[in-house]
Amino acid sequence: MKFSSKIFNSHSKKDGDFFVGMKRILGFKPKKIHIYKKAFLHRSANVKDSEGIPMNYERLEFLGDSMLGTIISKYLYIEVPEGDEGYLTKMRSKIVSREHLNELGKDLELIKFVESRIPKSHFGDNIHGNVFEALVGAIYLDRGYKYCEIFIYNKVVKPYVDIEQLEGKVISYKSLIIEWCQKQKKTFHYNVYEDTGNDTLKHFAVKLSIADTVVAKARATSKKKAEERASKRAYFALQDKMD
């Protein structure tokens, strides 16, 4: 396929720097460098191929997410032979959590390769995890499953995965609260509303009630974050009972 953008056609010093940067991160030479460039192409760059189809990292992100889940599942299946389906699913979720992927992307400094018309300072944390998954997708298309597996082992499993530590890691305080309330047959309710404060960004506030008693309050820039923050506060307030 011929690409209409100079991003994919040029052979500048910038291209050479990109190749060297990718080789350093990957631990091997990329063959089809244009695939890796697409892994860092934000939709705001408004790049299209010769057929007028928009190009960005989102399709590679979808592919990388699947590859990451498959390879981590295989690793856990081998490493924890006594783990049942529920245990393996929870452990995989902890390893490939959005928080963890964002951390991986930051550690590899992937954002410096992103092509965008939006200032990088305006991106949220998820950009780091998104391009990490897109990079995994690019590796699979360029070099196949084995190289993908080696990369994930070297960059994810070896430096970050400790089974014992992961067993005690909480990935969703809201899930813990809901599960506990259901077991204890207690009613619960998240009352979320828009918070009209003096902040530049819109905020949402939440009151978490259990058995008709407000046990925690929180606010954040999204409903989901506000609920999770309130759940975390509720968890620590009720920890003795929940344990």
Could you say which of 61, 133, 142, 228 is catalytic? 133
Each residue's pLDDT tens digit, 69-127: 999 999 999 998 988 898 898 889 889 988 889 999 999 999 999 998 888 888 888 99
Verify that 122 and 20 share a domain, yes or no.
Answer: yes
Each residue's pLDDT tens digit, 136-162: 999 999 999 999 999 999 999 998 888
Verify that 57 and 153 share a domain, yes or no.
Answer: yes
- b vs e for 102-116, b when ≥16 Cβ sit within 10 Å of the residue's Cβ? bbbbeebebeebbbb
Cβ atoms within 10 Å, residue 149: 18
CATH code at position 236:
3.30.160.20
Verify that 38 and 144 share a domain, yes or no.
Answer: yes
pLDDT value of position 7: 44
Rounded to whole angstroms, how far apart are CA atoms 100 and 168? 15
Give the type of residue at 157: V
Domain C-terminal end among 104, 129, 164: 164
Q: Checking phi first, is residue 99 left (phi over 0); if not, alpha (psi -120 to 50) or beta?
A: alpha
Verify that 85 and 181 share a domain, yes or no.
Answer: no
53 lies in some domain: yes
Active site residue 65: yes
Could you say which of 61, 65, 149, 227 is catalytic? 65
CATH code at position 97:
1.10.1520.10
pLDDT value of position 2: 43
Dihedral angle sign, alpha carbons of residues 189, 194, 197, 199: positive
The pTM is what?
0.68
Verify that 111 and 20 share a domain, yes or no.
Answer: yes
Active site residue 82: no
Q: For residue 114, give its domain range.
A: 6-164
Domain C-terminal end among 164, 181, 206: 164
How many domains, the chain? Answer: 2
